[in-house]
Amino acid sequence: MPVTCTNDCNRRAKLKRPKTAEKLCLECFYQAFEDEIHRTIVNNKLFQPGESVAVGASGGKDSTVLAYVLKLLNERHNYGINLVLLSVDEGITGYRDDSLETVKRNQQQYQLPLKIVSYEELYGWTMDAIVQKIGMKNNCTFCGVFRRQALDRGAMLVKADKIVTGHNADDVAETVLMNVLRGDIARLRRCTAIMTGTEGALPRCKPFKYTYEKEIVMYAYFKKLDYFSTECVYSPNAYRGYARAYLKDLESIRPSSIVDIIHSGERMSIKKEVKMPEQGTCSKCGYISSQSICKACVMLESLNRGLPKLAIGKTHKAKVVTICSNAFQRIIYRFKIFHELERDEIKFV
């Protein structure tokens, strides 16, 4: 028996909304999906008219739908923003090269400018080269740290005022759980913020913060959007896998769990006496960092010095190496000066 749409539109329902379990027709689903994102944007004042907004585009489902929906809403509700697609080429053969093709097609389809920044030009290392050095384990740490900075640098190159990323509700909820499991209290505090980095650095925002991953897939599927769906060829983060599996199980028990976790994350407050890392800038590259030298610089240094394992383990060890090398150079320098002075004195005498 055909089910009619619960939204009183007399059309036939085609799907069950993962978030609310109501049965909707396609038109009502699109409407609900887009309106929800619009409301999130408006309520949180994500965009100002005249701003240039870089969409972090990987070619995957989230960013493809994000680019599509933002273009649509920008026209429908006159946000007055300029959208730019921004991609990072990590240099992973068999994964990123293919997904970048998708981004390039999207550029044609949506008529948006596209900028690609690559690890190779920024750091002199492709992920393939990094993996050759450090093996299949832990390479995600490098990729993640580098990508964060690469996006910022790319956005500065295209003179964007903001970066939007396709992080969806599932991602945010998963991050809340991960930070609890890892005891990362500083990140736990900021991971549910819809907009980060408002002071100083380029602000980043997540218009999909309340959007379920399943609904994004559904939207892309019914809208027949062109996206790339392959797992990265390098090993996925195993520990994160546990959190993800747990989250999926929670969702199957109670679909609202994902939003509930985000709500919990927003409402947790941290004790005042707990020491928080202070955000400063990296003494080497000037990028924001909670340490004296940012993680990207530490990692790059360790790669260039041929000791990549150092950067993954204890941070202080790697930093000691970096600082030591600097200090050592200074000592040698002083020694030289001293030596010359001494010589001069000898001459003088």
Partner 1 sequence: MCNVEDQDLLPPSKAKNASRTCIKCKEVAQIVLRADNCYCRSCFIAYFTHKFRATIGKSKLIRSNEKVLLAFSGGPRSSAMLYLVHEGLSENIHKKLRFLPGVVFIDDGAILQLSENERRNYLEFIRTTVSKTGFPLFCESLGKIFPTNQDTNIQSNLLSSDLSNTTRSDATSSSNFDLDTLIKRFKNDELKIVQVFEKLPNSTAKEDMLHILRKKLIQQIAEANGYTKVMFADCGTRLAVKILSDIAQGRGSSVAHDVTFADERNQAVTLVRPMREFLTKEVANYLTLKSIDYRTRLSLTTMKPVKSSIERLTENFVTDLQASFPSTVNTICRTGDKLSVGDTSKIDADAICPLCDSRIDTNNSLEGKTTSKTTSKICQNTADSCCGEGDGSCNRIARINLTAKEIEDRLCYGCRLIFHSNNWEMDDLPQFLIDAIEKQLRRKRLKEEIEEFLLD
Pick out the residues of the known binding site for ATP: 56-58, 62, 88, 166, 171
| CA quadruple 183, 282, 145, 162: dihedral sign | positive
Q: Which residue has the tokens 């408002």?
A: 198
Site for partner 1 in 214-243 (CB under 8 A): 239, 242
Q: How far are the Cα atoms of 201, 282, 294, 298, 322 from residue 290, in angstroms, in the given order?
A: 13, 8, 7, 13, 16
Q: Are 187 and 279 in contact (CB under 8 A)?
A: no
Span from 66-74, 133-141, 244-252, 306-314 in contact with partner 1 (CB under 8 A): 244-252
Q: Which is nearer to partner 1, 26 or 180 (CB)?
A: 180
Going by DSSP bridges, is the β-strand pair 52-56/162-164 parallel, antiparallel, or unpaired?
Answer: parallel
Site for partner 1 in 70-129 (CB under 8 A): none
CA angle 34, 38, 39 (to 5 degrees): 120
**Sequence-separated contacts (24+) of 279-284 with Cβ below 8 Å:** 279/200
How many whole angstroms separate alpha carbon 177 and alpha carbon 346?
68
**Taking CB under 8 A as the rule, which mask of x and - marks residues 301-330 in contact with partner 1?**
------------------------------
Q: Are 291 and 279 in contact (CB under 8 A)?
A: no
Find the shortest distance in angstroms from Cβ 260 to partner 1. 4
Going by DSSP bridges, is the β-strand pair 195-196/204-205 parallel, antiparallel, or unpaired?
Answer: antiparallel
Q: Which is nearer to partner 1, 24 or 310 (CB)?
A: 24
Q: Which is nearer to partner 1, 40 or 99 (CB)?
A: 40
The total number of residues shown for the chain amounts to 349
**Taking CB under 8 A as the rule, which mask of x and - marks residues 258-277 in contact with partner 1?**
-xxxxxxxxxxxxxx-x---
Residue 52 phi/psi, 5-degree rounding, is -100, 125
Q: Does 196 bind partner 1 (CB under 8 A)?
A: no
Site for partner 1 in 22-81 (CB under 8 A): 22, 24, 28, 31-32, 35-36, 39-40, 43
**Under rule CB under 8 A, how many of the chain's residues touch partner 1?**
53
Span from 94-102, 126-134, 139-147, 171-179 in contact with partner 1 (CB under 8 A): 171-179
Q: List residues near partner 1 by CB under 8 A.
A: 6-8, 17, 19-20, 22, 24, 28, 31-32, 35-36, 39-40, 43, 169, 176-177, 179-183, 185, 188, 209-210, 239, 242, 246, 249-250, 252-254, 256-257, 259-272, 274
